[in-house]
Amino acid sequence: MSGRLRVNPIACEAHGMCAELLPERITLDEWGYPIVDGERLTPELIDHARRAARACPTFALLLEREEEGA
Amino acid sequence: MSASPSLTTEAWSLQTPMAAALPRILAGIPDHGAMDLDSHTAVHGPLPPDHKRRRRVESPLIGRIERARLGGRGGAGFPTATKLRAVWSARPPARGRAIVVVNAAEGEPASLKDRTLCESLPHLVLDGGELAAQAVGADELIVCVCESASASIRAISAAIAERDRPGGARARVRLVAVPSHYVAGQESALVNHLNGGPAKPTFTPPMIFEQGVRRRPTLVNNAETLAHIALIARHGSDWFRQLGTPAQPGSALITLSGPVAHPGVYEIEHGASLPSLIEAAGGTTAGVRGALLGGYAGSWIGKELMHGLALSNEHLAAHGASLGAGVVLLLSEDACPVAETARVARWLASESTGQCGPCVNGLDALAHTVEEIASGMAASRATQRIARLSSLVRRRGACGHPDGAVNFILSAFETFAPDFQDHARHGRCEACVSAELPLPVRMRDTAAAHELARAS
Amino acid sequence: MNVLLASAGPSAYWYLTRSTGAVALVLLTFAIALGVIDVRRLSSPRWPRFVVDSLHRNVSLLAMVFLVIHILTSVLDSYAPISLLDAFIPFAGSYRPFWLGLGAVAFDLLLAVTITSLLRQRMGFQTWRAIHWLTYASWPIALLHGLGTGSDVKSAWLLALSIACIAIVIAAVLARVIDGWPANLRLRGAALGGAAAFSLFLLLWLPGGPLGSEWARRSGTPASLLGHSHTTTTADGSRR
């Protein structure tokens, strides 16, 4: 099971919790909005990514699941 | 919305030896008013009837459009047959029948072709809409026109009434006015507006061809695209391909403006040369510094490259440009490309719908930096800041608006590099006060209004 | 039966309900303060955003836990005639009906906020947020409930605690108003005016109300319970 992260830029209100919880894949630009690396997530990062997506107050961070071998 | 006073809406057609078949879309266009149903039928023939097909069988029109290689004329150039097919196959009947939306919103300030079609050739557009509706199994056709285009509204309403007769169209047709904002004509913004929301883009998925107006599969096509469909249905794909290039067959409407004798809407075949288009428009009335192709999300072509330029996407791609919404905007030598870029960059920033942080902040910062460079007050690393901001803004909005703005600004820097360096060092030049590029004047945008008033 | 109970002294439930009520109010105050710190995006390297957000959610849940204990113990306690229904349906009880009823109103509002927060994922963000703002209404109602129903009001520590909580909540509201919330200017004026009016109301009402004489009788305590010593406090705040 793997996945990729995606931001809904309309819902995003720059709370910045995602970057705190997944600094390996998310950084904030100079205005506080997330720059998300859209590469496939490694197994070690999946749980952190899930937590980051759940922490977003506006549900702007989306974890899109992919089946193995997809 | 009003365009710069120098633009008129006379429509001429471009005659070249190969183009005995031109005019096509503009055939029989009246000098004033709209072509009525009888004249339309006399010029183009009756609307081809829809032959009964079995339920799951695809309409032959889609295959014909595919062979004709028709691409969307709203700016993106997306293959029209692919779009039709996507809406056609998106229908589980439970979700309701599909809906076709005619996009004549034309928020691009330098484009007049969709307005021309609606004002003068409404039946061609409505024919295309009806044929598309038959092809995707839609029972509703919605024509979206800019709320300030009163002539279009009148002409389309009258045309709808003319067609409303027994044995007439099977799809329900209605006209909806949409705001004149630049981004209001974006597909998801249009659908958002039709669903009762603001005319602002939405996040996808769900994709519009699956869930659009009232959550039904929705086909959004530019008015000109539908006009081409109306002709392909009558004359076939082989006829369509007799003009144009193998990669991009057929004809297209171009809005030509700037220092030419007769600016306006022209029909060309793809691949026609830019000099021949300018000649057909009566030639230039002043020296030309360059041409903006595609609109304010498009790219600049420098003066040196204009001579051999062929107007088709494959040829323009080599110069990093495309036809986009069919806009060719010439910039005279009396204008300052740096000041014009700053004006348009500021306008593009103000046209952000404000939904996405990177767009709102990024476009504002970009416009600010360009303005600083234009007035010679830029910090030493201003050009690097432009490059950095551009990469920060690209693909981080919900729609293509920030990407288009970045494209415009970066191409201006590349094409007019000496002018930008000059301004960065020495500040304003004498030509800075002229404001040639057309921008809409709106009540709240008083700064631009004063500028335009001073220029005209 | 009543006489027997009265002479047995106040039960453990009675102490529990009063203490958990006070704790719930304090926790709700902190929840509001943390919520404002959260939405104002204040953070430091030691207190990252996700910690502030987590803290806000957990403190709020803890407040609800204490609130539920507060309600259950008040029902179980046989001294005052409070039924479980009185916790949900306001103003229908027989013990200080108005002031108790305010507690039910506050509880109902907080129930709505809690349930919608636990089920956030199933509703639109705007809907969730609109309901979440009910917390600003529930807090003053809860405070008035405490001041009107509570039997410790005259004690110095509870008064001091109440004043501290009021100050924190007013500071929280001001912190948001200064930042430009609510966006609608009229609502913002209303928020400011509401906070000022509420403070003024307390200043004017408290001396002649709960801090005044015979408040137990005036607030609607059933006659059979009046005159018992454990509804009053001695000057040093100790219980008899």
CA-based nearest distance A15→chain C, Å: 7
Q: Is residue B106 part of a domain?
A: yes
Sheet of B11-13, strands arranged across: B11-13, B264-269, B251-257, B327-332, B288-293, B299-302
**Cβ contact (<8 Å) for C49 and A58?**
no
CA-based nearest distance A7→chain B, Å: 9
As a whole number, the mean pLDDT across chain C is 85
Which of B47, B180, C38 minimizes the C-alpha distance to A15?
A: C38
Chains A+B touching (3+ CB pairs under 8 Å): yes
Beta bridge partners of B99: B140, B218
Structure tokens at B128: 């295309």
Query: Which residues in chain C have their CB less than 8 angstroms from residue A20's CB?
Result: 48-50
Q: Please tell me the predicted confidence (pLDDT) of residue A67.
A: 67
What stretch of H or E contains B264?
Answer: strand B264-269
**Cβ contact (<8 Å) for A9 and B355?**
yes
Q: Please tell me the predicted confidence (pLDDT) of residue C31.
A: 96
By the 10 Å C-beta count (0-12 exposed, 13-18 middle, 19+ buried), B456 is classed as: exposed
Q: For position B401, which CATH number holds?
A: 1.20.1440.230
Q: Is residue B301 part of a domain?
A: no
**Cβ contact (<8 Å) for A10 and B202?**
yes
- Could you give the CA distance from residue B289 to residue B274 in angstroms, rounded to a whole number? 14
Q: Please tell me the predicted confidence (pLDDT) of residue B199.
A: 96
Q: Do the bridges between strand B264-269 and strand A2-7 make them parallel or antiparallel, or are there none, so unpaired?
A: unpaired
For B292, list phi and psi in degrees, rounded to 5.
Answer: -100, 125
**Cβ contact (<8 Å) for A17 and C41?**
no
ω into B205 cis (within 30 of 0): yes
State the number of CA atoms in the 13 A half-sphere of C194 facing the CB: 15
CA-based nearest distance A58→chain C, Å: 6
* A11 contact B CB<8A: yes
Q: Suggest the residue from A15, A22, A48, A50 to mutate for an interface test with chain C (most C CBs closer than 10 A).
A: A15
CA-based nearest distance A44→chain B, Å: 26
CA-based nearest distance C49→chain A, Å: 6
- The dihedral region occupied by C48, where left means phi > 0, alpha psi between -120 and 50, and beta the remainder, is beta
Query: Domain tally for chain A?
Result: 1
- pLDDT at A7 exceeding the cut of 80: yes
CA-based nearest distance A13→chain B, Å: 8
Domain of residue A49, residue span: 2-66
Under 8 Å CB pairs connecting chains A and B tally to: 38
- Could you give the CA distance from residue B454 to residue B339 in angstroms, rounded to a whole number? 15
Q: Please tell me the predicted confidence (pLDDT) of residue C235.
A: 47
Query: Which residues in chain A have their CB less than 8 angstroms from residue C125's CB?
Result: 11, 58-59
DSSP string, B44-109: H-SPPP-----TTPPPHHHHHHHHHT-B-SSSS--BHHHHHHHHHHT--GGG--EEEEEEE----T
Angle ∠(C47,C50,C52) on CA atoms, nearest 5: 55
Query: Which residues in chain A have their CB less than 8 angstroms from residue C121's CB?
Result: 59
Of A10, A31, A35, the CB nearest to B361: A31
Q: Suggest the residue from A10, A30, A35 to mutate for an interface test with chain B (most B CBs closer than 10 A).
A: A10
Q: For position B184, which CATH number holds?
A: 3.40.50.11540
By the 10 Å C-beta count (0-12 exposed, 13-18 middle, 19+ buried), C108 is classed as: middle
* B282 contact A CB<8A: no
- Could you give the CA distance from residue B345 to residue B370 in angstroms, rounded to a whole number? 8
Query: Which residues in chain A have their CB less than 8 angstroms from residue B359's CB?
Result: 9
Q: Please tell me the predicted confidence (pLDDT) of residue B131.
A: 95
Secondary structure of residue B378 in the 3-state scheme: coil
Q: Partners for B (CB, 8 Å, 3+ pairs)? A: A
Q: Please tell me the predicted confidence (pLDDT) of residue B12.
A: 29
Q: Please tell me the predicted confidence (pLDDT) of residue A2.
A: 82
Residue indicated by tokens 């806009």: B327
**Cβ contact (<8 Å) for A16 and C53?**
no
Beta bridge partners of B174: B142
The answer to whether residues B403 and B389 touch, using CB atoms and an 8 Å cutoff, is no
Q: Where are the alpha helices (DSSP H) in chain C?
A: 2-8, 12-39, 49-76, 97-118, 125-132, 134-149, 156-178, 185-208, 215-218
pLDDT band at A30, cuts 50/70/90?
very high
* A37 contact B CB<8A: no
Report the amino acid identity of residue B211: Q
Is the CA virtual torsion B42, B45, B47, B52 positive or negative? positive
Beta bridge partners of B12: B266
Q: Please tell me the predicted confidence (pLDDT) of residue B6.
A: 28
Is the CA virtual torsion B103, B107, B108, B110 positive or negative? positive
Q: Is B357 or C153 the better-scoring residue by pLDDT?
A: B357
Q: Please tell me the predicted confidence (pLDDT) of residue B3.
A: 33
How many CB atoms sit inside 10 A of residue B432's CB? Answer: 18
B232 and B369 in a single domain? The answer is no
The residue of chain C nearest to residue A58, with distances taken between CA atoms, is C125
Which of B341, B289, B340, B294 minimizes the C-alpha distance to B321?
A: B294
Residue indicated by tokens 């005279």: B332
**Cβ contact (<8 Å) for C41 and A16?**
yes
- Could you give the CA distance from residue A8 to residue B396 in angstroms, rounded to a whole number? 9
Q: Is residue B388 part of a domain?
A: yes
* C49 contact A CB<8A: yes
Q: Taking the mean position of all CA atoms in its chain, how far away is CA B38?
A: 29
Q: Please tell me the predicted confidence (pLDDT) of residue C10.
A: 66
The answer to whether residues A34 and A19 touch, using CB atoms and an 8 Å cutoff, is yes
Q: Is residue B14 part of a domain?
A: no
Q: Partners for C (CB, 8 Å, 3+ pairs)? A: A
Secondary structure of residue B258 in the 3-state scheme: coil
Report the amino acid identity of residue C90: P
Domain of residue B408, residue span: 337-433
Q: Please tell me the predicted confidence (pLDDT) of residue B189.
A: 97
DSSP type of residue B261: S
Secondary structure of residue C70 in the 3-state scheme: helix
As a whole number, the mean pLDDT across chain B is 88
Is the CA virtual torsion B306, B310, B315, B321 positive or negative? positive
Q: Please tell me the predicted confidence (pLDDT) of residue B14.
A: 31
Q: Where are the alpha helices (DSSP H) in B110-250?
A: 113-120, 122-136, 150-163, 187-194, 223-240
The answer to whether residues C170 and C195 touch, using CB atoms and an 8 Å cutoff, is yes
- Could you give the CA distance from residue B375 to residue B428 in angstroms, rounded to a whole number? 5
How many CB atoms sit inside 10 A of residue B47's CB? Answer: 21
Q: Is residue B285 part of a domain?
A: no
**Cβ contact (<8 Å) for A21 and C50?**
yes
Query: Domain tally for chain B?
Result: 2
Query: Which residues in chain A have their CB less than 8 angstroms from residue C50's CB?
Result: 17, 20-21, 55
Q: Is residue B19 part of a domain?
A: no
Helical pair A43-55 and C49-76, crossing angle rounded to 10 deg: 60
Of A11, A17, A58, the CB nearest to C50: A17
Query: Which residues in chain C have their CB less than 8 angstroms from residue A32's CB?
Result: 41
Structure tokens at C151: 């039997």
Mean pLDDT of C212-226: 78
CA-based nearest distance A18→chain B, Å: 15
pLDDT band at C221, cuts 50/70/90?
confident
Q: What is the pTM of this model?
A: 0.84
Q: Please tell me the predicted confidence (pLDDT) of residue B448.
A: 42
- Could you give the CA distance from residue B116 to residue B126 in angstroms, rounded to a whole number? 14
**Cβ contact (<8 Å) for A10 and B355?**
yes
* A11 contact C CB<8A: yes
What stretch of H or E contains B453?
Answer: helix B446-455
- Could you give the CA distance from residue B130 to residue B135 in angstroms, rounded to a whole number? 9
For the ranges B139-153, B263-277, B428-442, C134-148, the lowest mean pLDDT is seen at B428-442
Which of C94, C207, C223, C76 minimizes the C-alpha distance to C149?
A: C94
**Cβ contact (<8 Å) for B398 and A9?**
yes
The answer to whether residues B240 and B224 touch, using CB atoms and an 8 Å cutoff, is no
Residue indicated by tokens 């191409």: B411
- Could you give the CA distance from residue B263 to residue B284 in angstroms, rounded to a whole number? 10
Structure tokens at B392: 């920060």
- Could you give the CA distance from residue B111 to residue B149 in angstroms, rounded to a whole number? 13
CA-based nearest distance A68→chain C, Å: 26
Query: Which residues in chain A have their CB less than 8 angstroms from residue B357's CB?
Result: 9, 12-14, 31-33
The answer to whether residues B190 and B184 touch, using CB atoms and an 8 Å cutoff, is yes
**Cβ contact (<8 Å) for A12 and B357?**
yes
Give the CA radius of gyration of chain B: 22
By the 10 Å C-beta count (0-12 exposed, 13-18 middle, 19+ buried), B437 is classed as: buried
- Could you give the CA distance from residue B206 to residue B188 in angstroms, rounded to a whole number? 10
DSSP type of residue B441: -
**Cβ contact (<8 Å) for A10 and B398?**
yes
pLDDT tens digit sequence for B50-73:
777 777 788 999 999 999 999 999
pLDDT tens digit sequence for B282-316:
999 999 999 999 999 999 999 999 998 999 999 99
The answer to whether residues B205 and B33 touch, using CB atoms and an 8 Å cutoff, is no
Q: Is residue B248 part of a domain?
A: no
**Cβ contact (<8 Å) for A10 and B203?**
yes
Query: Which residues in chain C have their CB less than 8 angstroms from residue A21's CB?
Result: 50
Q: For position A23, which CATH number holds?
A: 3.30.70.20
**Cβ contact (<8 Å) for C49 and A20?**
yes
The answer to whether residues B139 and B96 touch, using CB atoms and an 8 Å cutoff, is no
**Cβ contact (<8 Å) for B398 and A33?**
no
CA-based nearest distance A23→chain B, Å: 18
For the ranges B164-173, B348-357, B422-431, the lowest mean pLDDT is seen at B164-173
- Could you give the CA distance from residue B167 to residue A33 in angstroms, rounded to a whole number? 56
For B451, list phi and psi in degrees, rounded to 5.
Answer: -65, -45
* A53 contact B CB<8A: no
Q: Please tell me the predicted confidence (pLDDT) of residue B92.
A: 63
The residue of chain A nearest to residue B204, with distances taken between CA atoms, is A8
